[in-house]
């Protein structure tokens, strides 16, 4: 065995060798601390107008925006693969976007059409509806803008109306992604008052002002509109104590589960949240993270399939209950099959 090389005296180990448990797959499987399962994966999907329409997203190779009929088909595939829930994002047609984001509470908007169509055809899958104004406003900000300022309380009033049309259309989970103060409590109160006490709130509680959302903004068509940044409402990436305050506040306001976003660069926040709070915690492997894996894989710099698996597993190790990921369908099929 020892190829004739001299051995170092290892008696200082006192017999303790950590490699013993890693010597074979049976043993690695036996001591594996976390699992990655289809039910851990939430699939974000982009909706466009039309029939039998799909459009590609340049910065997200492999991801397509889908018209409602194709979305229903995707929902069926997701259900069959064991994915528990979809997160929907509309690409609102240009002529329906405006300063006041009125389309956000049009009961027949693209989001509501998608929600009701999927709810009718695939009632077993959970539907998570994003609530924020950037998908409906002419300036790509998540809140109403007046004289260059993002208005808080006025934005919350619009979001409440938006959440209500979504709940009426069949949303099971309202997911405010805007980072305005007080929106969770306001949405909870409005849902309860309208008889939607069963509708959950998954708040984007610790959402950072991040460059990793770039491809998403192309996907929903807000990127080219956005002037400036989102630093007055999304969090500073230098902070994590503040993330715990955001999370605590959202739980107090009535959030059923919380989200941390982006994902991989913020696993320290996931872990701190896991240690501090006893609520379901989700992390979002965002569009820029997806693009990095795809593009580095295509360039031959990393093994793409291995990177997808390793990156998703890291979320579970950090303590997340689940991950929003554009890889959900592919991975649920692999993991479940």
> Catalytic residues, which ones?
207, 261
- The site that binds ligand PBG (CB under 6 A) totals a number of residues, namely 11
Per the document, the length of the chain is 337
Q: Is 318 in the site for ligand PBG (CB under 6 A)?
A: no
> Residue 200 and residue 283: Cα distance in Å, rounded?
17
Task: Of 29, 58, 63, 62, give the one whose Cα is nearest residue 46.
Answer: 63
Q: What are phi and psi of 236, to 5 degrees?
A: -75, 125
CB of 193: closest distance to ligand PBG in angstroms? 25
CB of 217: closest distance to ligand PBG in angstroms? 6
Residue from 103, 139, 142, 246 touching ligand PBG (CB under 6 A): that is 142
Q: Is 101 in the site for ligand PBG (CB under 6 A)?
A: no
DSSP 3-state of 200: strand
Task: Of 207, 196, 318, 316, give the one whose Cα is nearest residue 254.
Answer: 196
Tokens of 152: 């808080």
Neighbours of 315 (CB within 10 A): 28
Q: Do strands 126-131 and 173-176 pair parallel, antiparallel, or not at all (unpaired)? A: parallel
Residue from 86, 286, 312, 323 touching ligand PBG (CB under 6 A): that is 286
Residue holding tokens 């950590």? 18
Strands of 1-159, DSSP E: 41-48, 54-56, 64-67, 85-90, 126-131, 144-146, 149-151
Q: Is 218 in the site for ligand PBG (CB under 6 A)?
A: no
**CB-nearer residue toward ligand PBG: 70 or 219:** 219
By CB under 6 A, which span of 46-54, 67-75, 128-136, 157-165 interacts with ligand PBG?
Answer: 128-136
By CB under 6 A, which span of 11-19, 213-221, 245-253, 307-315 interacts with ligand PBG?
Answer: 213-221
Q: Do residues 126 and 172 touch, judged by C-beta distance below 8 A?
A: yes
Q: Do residues 316 and 40 touch, judged by C-beta distance below 8 A?
A: yes
Q: Is 163 in the site for ligand PBG (CB under 6 A)?
A: no
Q: Is 130 in the site for ligand PBG (CB under 6 A)?
A: yes
> Residue 60 and residue 281: Cα distance in Å, rounded?
26
Q: Is 134 in the site for ligand PBG (CB under 6 A)?
A: yes
The answer to whether 246 is annotated as binding is yes
Q: Rg of the Cα trace of the chain?
A: 22
**CB-nearer residue toward ligand PBG: 134 or 250:** 134
Residue from 46, 105, 208, 213 touching ligand PBG (CB under 6 A): that is 213
By CB under 6 A, which span of 32-40, 130-138, 150-158, 162-170 interacts with ligand PBG?
Answer: 130-138
Q: Is 141 in the site for ligand PBG (CB under 6 A)?
A: no
**CB-nearer residue toward ligand PBG: 237 or 336:** 237
Q: How far is CA 189 from CA 166, 195, 201, in A?
A: 15, 10, 11
**CB-nearer residue toward ligand PBG: 68 or 219:** 219
Neighbours of 34 (CB within 10 A): 13
**CB-nearer residue toward ligand PBG: 6 or 115:** 115
Q: Is 103 in the site for ligand PBG (CB under 6 A)?
A: no
Read off the DSSP letter of residue 207. E
**CB-nearer residue toward ligand PBG: 200 or 287:** 287
List interacting residues with ligand PBG (CB under 6 A).
130, 132, 134, 142, 177-178, 213, 216-217, 286-287
Q: Extract the annotated binding site.
A: 246
Q: Extract the annotated binding site for Mg(2+).
A: 246
């Amino acid at each position: 065995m020892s190829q004739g090389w001299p051995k170092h005296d290892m008696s200082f180990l006192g017999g303790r060798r950590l490699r013993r448990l890693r010597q074979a797959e049976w043993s690695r499987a036996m001591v594996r601390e976390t699992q990655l399962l289809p039910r851990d994966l939430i699939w974000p999907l982009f909706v466009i107008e039309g029939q039998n329409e799909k459009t590609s997203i340049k910065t997200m190779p492999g991801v397509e925006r889908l018209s409602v009929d194709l979305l229903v088909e995707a929902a069926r595939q997701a259900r069959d693969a064991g994915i528990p829930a979809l997160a929907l994002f509309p690409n609102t047609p240009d002529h329906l976007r405006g300063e006041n984001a009125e389309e956000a509470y049009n009961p027949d908007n693209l989001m509501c059409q998608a929600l009701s169509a999927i709810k009718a055809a695939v009632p077993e899958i959970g539907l998570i509806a994003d609530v924020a104004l950037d998908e409906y406003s002419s300036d790509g900000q998540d809140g109403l803008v007046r004289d260059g300022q993002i208005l808080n309380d006025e934005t919350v009033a619009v979001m409440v109306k938006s959440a209500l049309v979504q709940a009426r259309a069949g949303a099971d989970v309202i997911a405010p992604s805007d980072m305005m103060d007080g929106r969770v409590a306001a949405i909870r109160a409005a849902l309860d008052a309208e008889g939607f006490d069963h509708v959950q709130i998954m708040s984007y509680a610790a959402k950072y002002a991040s460059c990793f959302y770039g491809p998403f903004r192309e996907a929903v068509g807000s990127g080219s509109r956005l002037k400036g940044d989102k630093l007055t409402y999304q969090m500073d990436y230098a902070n994590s104590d503040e993330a715990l305050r955001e999370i605590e506040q959202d739980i107090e306001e009535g959030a059923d589960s919380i989200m941390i976003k982006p994902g991989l660069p913020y696993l320290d926040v996931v872990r701190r949240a896991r240690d501090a709070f006893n609520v379901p915690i989700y992390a979002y492997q965002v569009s820029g993270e997806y693009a990095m894996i795809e593009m580095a894989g295509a360039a031959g710099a990393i093994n793409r399939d291995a990177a997808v698996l390793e990156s998703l597993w890291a979320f579970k190790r950090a303590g997340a209950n689940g991950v929003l990921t554009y890889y959900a369908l592919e991975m649920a099929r692999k993991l479940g099959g």
